[in-house]
Amino acid sequence: MLPMEILIKRLNDNARLPAYGREAGPGIDLYALDDVTIEPGERVLVQTGVALAMPVGYIGLIWSQRGMTTQNAMKVTTDIVDSGYREEVRVELTNTGSEQIHFAAGEPIAQLLVQQAQHAHLIEAEDLGGDTEK
């Protein structure tokens, strides 16, 4: 069986293409296009300079990198890249700490986890069966 393919378009010559940071790791690293400094309490949208074409039936979930939130006070806003999205992938970062945080161009800022996403058959019903647990 061939591995799934994700098409990547470099939108800026300086963009670093997404890549797996570790062979055994599940996440694809996403990198900052430019240097960015985030002040305490500030939320910024960081460009990656790339667009992705997720295959139909799959989604990319944007998450914090392992250790990113424990080593500093950086929060990645979880987001989705679905098969219909072809614009630049951007990552929203929030500095929840009391000191500024700096990322250099080409530095990893988040990771993309690829998962299957099935469409469910939705059925209207009068009774959903069972009671809600309290």
Nearest by Cα to 112 from 55, 9, 30, 6: 30
Residue 130's pLDDT band, with cuts at 50, 70 and 90, is confident
Fold held by 7-116 = Deoxyuridine 5'-Triphosphate Nucleotidohydrolase; Chain A (2.70.40)
**What residue ranges do the domains of the chain occupy?**
7-116
% of the chain residues with pLDDT over 70: 91
Lowest mean pLDDT among 19-33, 40-54, 64-78, 107-121: 64-78
Q: What's the count of helices (H) and strands (E) in the chain, helices before strands? A: 1, 11
Give pLDDT tens digits for 42-70. 999 999 999 999 999 999 999 997 655 55
Q: Given the structure tokens 């990319």, which residue do they identify?
A: 60
Average pLDDT over residues 76-87: 95
Residue type, 28: I
- The pTM is what? 0.86
Most confident region among 13-27, 63-77, 106-120 by mean pLDDT: 106-120
Residue 1's pLDDT band, with cuts at 50, 70 and 90, is low
Nearest by Cα to 111 from 45, 18, 33: 18
CA 46 to CA 64: how far, in whole Å?
13
CA 70 to CA 96: how far, in whole Å?
12
**Strand pairing of 43-53 and 101-103?**
unpaired
CA 20 to CA 8: how far, in whole Å?
14
% of the chain residues with pLDDT over 90: 77
